[in-house]
């Protein structure tokens, strides 16, 4: 059903039903007129089971995969792989002091190595979860497509056991 707000003239569209929502706004649900169903229920079920739902499963699967990449921030972690760990860095200071330069260089190097280690662990975990989501989505998708076959085989063996 389509939902549309009240028009500027204040009149409801023809063939509509008034529904009150929160905040007392007036909306109308447009009811389809003269809807003729030309297919029988079996063909409607086939269309729903093998065309409509697989599209929705693929959309949901894609959303799960994209959410996981965003959750673990894998692209950002790859871009900032050798950045400082939590932006901890020492300044080299003004002038040239060999001891201070060596301390700052060593600390900054350790901070970058620590950042790379932590980021590589997070990237590894994120990619592994991505693989599990991919395998799980593939199982759900194929399971949904093969569900009628499982039903027929189950009925066949069930009647075979009874007889």
Query: Does the pLDDT value for residue 1 go beyond 60?
Result: no
pLDDT digits (tens, 9 = 90+) for 4-52: 555 555 565 555 554 444 445 555 555 555 555 567 888 888 889 999 9
pLDDT digits (tens, 9 = 90+) for 47-106: 899 999 999 999 999 999 999 999 999 999 999 888 877 777 667 777 777 888 888 889
Residues 23 and 48 in one domain: no
Helix 98-162 vs helix 53-72: crossing angle, to nearest 10: 160
Instruction: Provide the token pair at 38.
Output: 């030309």
pLDDT at 128: 97
Residues 126 and 147 in one domain: yes
Residues 9 and 71 in one domain: no
- Which residues share a beta bridge with 17? 29
Domain count, the chain: 2
Residues 1 and 48 in one domain: no
Query: Does the pLDDT value for residue 131 go beyond 60?
Result: yes
3-state helix, strand, coil in the chain (%, to 5): 65, 10, 25
Percent of the chain with pLDDT over 70: 74
Instruction: Provide the token pair at 55.
Output: 């599209």
Closest by Cα among 124, 127, 135 to 61 = 135
Residues 7 and 17 in one domain: yes
Rounded distance, CA 82 to CA 111, Å?
9
- Order of all β-strands in the sheet with 26-30: 2-5, 26-30, 16-20
Percent of the chain with pLDDT over 90: 47
Rounded distance, CA 113 to CA 111, Å?
6
Angstrom distances, CA of residue 79 to CA of 67, 76, 157: 18, 5, 56
**Mean pLDDT of the region 147-160:** 93
Neighbours of 23 (CB within 10 A): 5
Domain that holds residue 131: 38-162
Rounded distance, CA 41 to CA 117, Å?
58
């Amino acid at each position: 059903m389509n939902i549309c707000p009240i028009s500027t003239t204040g009149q409801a569209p023809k063939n509509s039903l008034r529904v009150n929502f929160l905040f007392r706004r007036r909306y109308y649900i447009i009811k389809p007129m003269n809807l003729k169903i030309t297919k029988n229920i079996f063909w409607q079920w086939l269309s729903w089971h093998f065309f409509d739902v697989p599209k929705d499963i693929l959309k949901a699967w894609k959303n799960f995969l994209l959410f996981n990449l965003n959750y673990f921030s894998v692209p950002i972690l790859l871009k900032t792989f050798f950045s400082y760990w939590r932006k901890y860095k020492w300044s080299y200071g003004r002038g040239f002091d060999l001891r201070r330069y060596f301390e700052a260089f060593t600390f900054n190097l350790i901070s970058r190595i620590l950042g790379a280690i932590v980021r590589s662990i997070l990237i590894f975990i994120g990619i592994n979860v991505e693989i599990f989501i991919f395998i799980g989505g593939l199982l759900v998708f194929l399971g949904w497509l093969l569900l009628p076959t499982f039903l027929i085989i189950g009925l066949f063996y069930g009647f075979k056991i009874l007889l």
